[in-house]
Amino acid sequence: MSKVAWIGLGHMGVPMSANLVNAGHTVLGVDIVEPARERARAVGVQVVETVAEAVRDAEVVFTMLQNGDIVTDVLTGADGAFAHMPKGSVAVDCSTTGIDTAIAVNAEATAQGVSFVDAPVSGGVQGAEDGSLTLMLGGEFDAVAIAEPLLKSVGSYIVHVGPSGDGQKMKVVNNAMLGVGMATASETSVLAQRLGLDPEVFYNIVLRSSGDSWAFRTWFPMPGVVATSPSSHGYEPGFMIDLLKKDLHLATALAEESGVRLDVAASAEKLFAEASASGRGEQDCTALALELGLEVDPPS
């Protein structure tokens, strides 16, 4: 069994680290927010005060943080993880950060005598709870080989895509499609409601028709139909609007750099940005439908 550090005990970090605890590993966790720390303690994570304390004896250090700036700071900062990790240990970043962050952090890891794997995930909180996430890995073979036995406790489809940054490449492309799927599921839900369609009839027919998608099926934005969708739980995240907005921006910025049109994803980014600007940034991404006029009782 391994000694593991887990930095970032949020919506994804808690269920993912819980699966490592349940597999028999010792997990030392860190978060800057007390409610997150409390939830982690409840699943058996040994919560400590500092990154240094968490990583000192760790074989593998996981990060699951909101964005690339935070990941860079936590791993490469003056008192960050790399400064305290044992030589030869591996940092595995499961956050969605974009390609440039992964490549820059990997270079810093090498300079400090540790290894780095970008390992973004897909499958949402439900996938994290079930240990059924998809993991897309970018990094050196040796580092991936050290991390892989632990990753099997958090995911069920684990692919080494290529060198550093390649996991993020895959994730950015995937989440452009997720963002578009969530946007269209939200817009069409509002239209279906205006047309007087029964939500359950609408859902069940699309599920068996050509309009179906992972986003529609899993995160149906009308409440009371899919019990596990955040829309059925007051639009509590789940996956926050601000995070999906960030992912869509990673995709549209890369498309622009690459001279590729991503017009549909750009429209989705605009919708999520508007929802964020109107104060819904910390609601689940299914709440885009509310922003677009879906009526729910009681109002959310």
Q: Which stretch binds ligand NAD (CB under 6 A): 7-15, 103-111, 207-215, 290-298?
A: 7-15
- Binding ligand NAD (rule: CB under 6 A), the pick from 27, 102, 125, 143 is 125
Q: Which is nearer to ligand NAD, 182 or 290 (CB)?
A: 182
117 forms part of the interface with ligand NAD (CB under 6 A): no
In single-letter form, the type of residue at position 178 comes to L
Q: Indicate the DSSP class of residue 61.
A: E
Q: What is the rounded distance in angstroms from the CA atom of residue 253 to the CA atom of residue 86?
A: 36
Which tokens sit at 78?
């003056």
Dihedral Cα 132, 105, 165, 87, nearest 10 deg: -70
156 forms part of the interface with ligand NAD (CB under 6 A): no
| CA max distance for the chain | 62
Q: What track of x and - describes contact with ligand NAD for positions 27 through 66 (by CB under 6 A)? A: ---xxxx--x---------------------------xxx
- Binding ligand NAD (rule: CB under 6 A), the pick from 23, 70, 103, 253 is 70
Q: Which stretch binds ligand NAD (CB under 6 A): 25-33, 100-108, 212-220, 262-270?
A: 25-33
2 forms part of the interface with ligand NAD (CB under 6 A): no
Planar angle of CA 263, 215, 147, nearest 5 degrees: 95
187 forms part of the interface with ligand NAD (CB under 6 A): no
Planar angle of CA 32, 35, 40, nearest 5 degrees: 85
Strands 60-63 and 121-122: unpaired
Instruction: Specify whether the CB–CB gap between 169 and 83 falls below 8 A.
Output: no
7 forms part of the interface with ligand NAD (CB under 6 A): yes
15 forms part of the interface with ligand NAD (CB under 6 A): no
Which tokens sit at 289?
């439908």
11 forms part of the interface with ligand NAD (CB under 6 A): yes
Which tokens sit at 228?
């596990």
Q: What is the rounded distance in angstroms from the CA atom of residue 194 to the CA atom of residue 192?
A: 5
**Which of the following is catalytic: 152, 169, 171, 245?**
171
181 forms part of the interface with ligand NAD (CB under 6 A): no
* Cis amide leading into 238 (omega within 30): yes
171 classed as catalytic: yes
239 forms part of the interface with ligand NAD (CB under 6 A): yes
**Neighbouring residues of 243: CB distance < 8 A, sequence distance ≥ 6:** 66, 96, 285
CB of 11 to ligand NAD, least distance (A): 4
Q: What track of x and - describes contact with ligand NAD for positions 242 through 281 (by CB under 6 A)? A: -x---x----------------------------------
Residues that bind ligand NAD (CB under 6 A): 7-13, 30-33, 36, 64-66, 70, 74, 95-96, 121-122, 124-125, 238-239, 243, 247
Which residues are annotated as catalytic? Answer: 171
